[in-house]
Amino acid sequence: MKLTLQRVPLGVLTALTMAVLLVVSVILVFLGVVALESTLERRTLDRLPSDASAAYLDFNAGRMPTQDGVRALLNSLPTVERQSETEGQLTILALAMIVALVGSLFGYWLARKISRPLEVLAAATENLRAGDFSVRVGPVGNAAKEVALLVRRFDALASELESMESRLRFNTMAVAHELRTPLTVLRGNLQGMADGVFPIDRTRIVQLLLQVEGLSALVEDLRTLSLAAGQKLVTQRLPLDLSVEVGQVLEASGHLLEKAGMTVETALQPVRIVGDAPRLRQAVLALVENATRYAAAGGVLRCEVGLQGGQEACIRLLDRGPGLPEDVSSESVDLFWRADTSRSRATGGSGLGLSVVKAIAAAHDGRLEFAKRPGGGAIVSIILPVEAGP
């Protein structure tokens, strides 16, 4: 019964319950009337005069009653019939009330079995509203299909909210950590200049501007992720050729790659999709900058654009750097994520780059993928549907 209820929709279960209760009620009333029939007949005979009762029994037995008995039966029958009819109606009414009471008790029991998970769910919802994201309803056992589905989805929602709260706490601390260093440098230098301890020269001003630029980049990345969370990161999609957009990014990044001592190999095949060109260029630039910071020792960066599986467009960057940890995946990329925990702001990155790339890919109904490159190094890919668009 437990497994059956979990597969039955609530509407069907309600209809079946009503039908079963109705059939059971009719059967119980019928059986009650049959059981009381002999009792009612005996009471009817007790009300008749003796000769009329004898005539009635003779009729039922197929015998010819006496003339006096027939006359007495005819005279007494109307009064006795009215009394017997009233008694029969009262008996049937009492029996129907008993059956209705039994049916109501059974219906109440069954309704409680169905509604009990909803009561537990309501209590869990109240705890969730109060801020307890660890609350779970768990297995509901004997519940209708829709109720069991609702409970499972509630538990999934509570789990996601708990995970979001944990990430929010971590991200808040991470933002504070990322802002603390440049703000401390700025405040210390400006205070030193104000007190006359540090000279106000061009070199020191340039250093402070670099700190300001880092803060501006951090704030812009946070804004990008905020837009992504609000489904506002990509607002305008137009037909474009991925090879052209990626080629423009590589050309604009020539000085950055040259400074890092990296050469570029390309294999850019024309692939047309519908997307936000500036955002896609931003994602590719973030991957290029990431490679110049962490894979410059490999000396070569290969960039490929093409089709994957016939239905997906792929932007792939391959380097000869130290590679990625064994447990890295796109799901592990979060705010201020770095593949190597030893990396810090000293390498030049805030840790938001890959989070931004992942957000841009997701906004195009795509995804970010990582893989090891044969022979050493890493492969970072942006996979986009060819038919991406509104």
Specify whether the backbone of 240 is left (phi greater than 0), alpha (psi in -120 to 50) or beta: beta
Ranges under pLDDT 50 in the chain: 1-3, 329-332, 335-348, 350, 388-390
Residue type at 288 in one-letter notation: V
Alpha helices in the chain (DSSP H): 2-7, 10-47, 50-61, 67-129, 145-194, 202-229, 242-252, 254-259, 277-294, 353-363
Task: Give the CA-trace dihedral at 222, 224, 229, 230, to 10 degrees.
Answer: 120
Which tens digit of pLDDT belongs to each residue from 54-86?
Answer: 766 666 676 777 776 667 666 766 766 676 667
Question: If we measure between CA atoms, which residue out of 315, 319, 323 comes closest to residue 267?
Answer: 315
Spatial distance between the Cα atoms of 126 and 154, rounded to a whole number of angstroms: 12
Q: Token digits for 23?
A: 């059939």
pLDDT at 335: 45
Spatial distance between the Cα atoms of 297 and 347, rounded to a whole number of angstroms: 13
Q: Token digits for 209?
A: 């501007």
Question: If we measure between CA atoms, which residue out of 75, 71, 80 comes closest to residue 43?
Answer: 80
Going by the DSSP 8-state scheme, the letter that residue 382 receives in this structure is: E
Spatial distance between the Cα atoms of 250 and 285, rounded to a whole number of angstroms: 8
The Cα-based distances of 248 to 92, 131, 152, 252 in angstroms read: 91, 48, 48, 6
Contact, 384 vs 366, CB < 8 A?
yes
Contact, 320 vs 299, CB < 8 A?
yes
Which tens digit of pLDDT belongs to each residue from 250-308?
Answer: 999 998 899 999 999 999 999 999 998 988 998 999 899 889 988 899 999 999 999 98
Going by the DSSP 8-state scheme, the letter that residue 373 receives in this structure is: P
Spatial distance between the Cα atoms of 48 and 65, rounded to a whole number of angstroms: 15
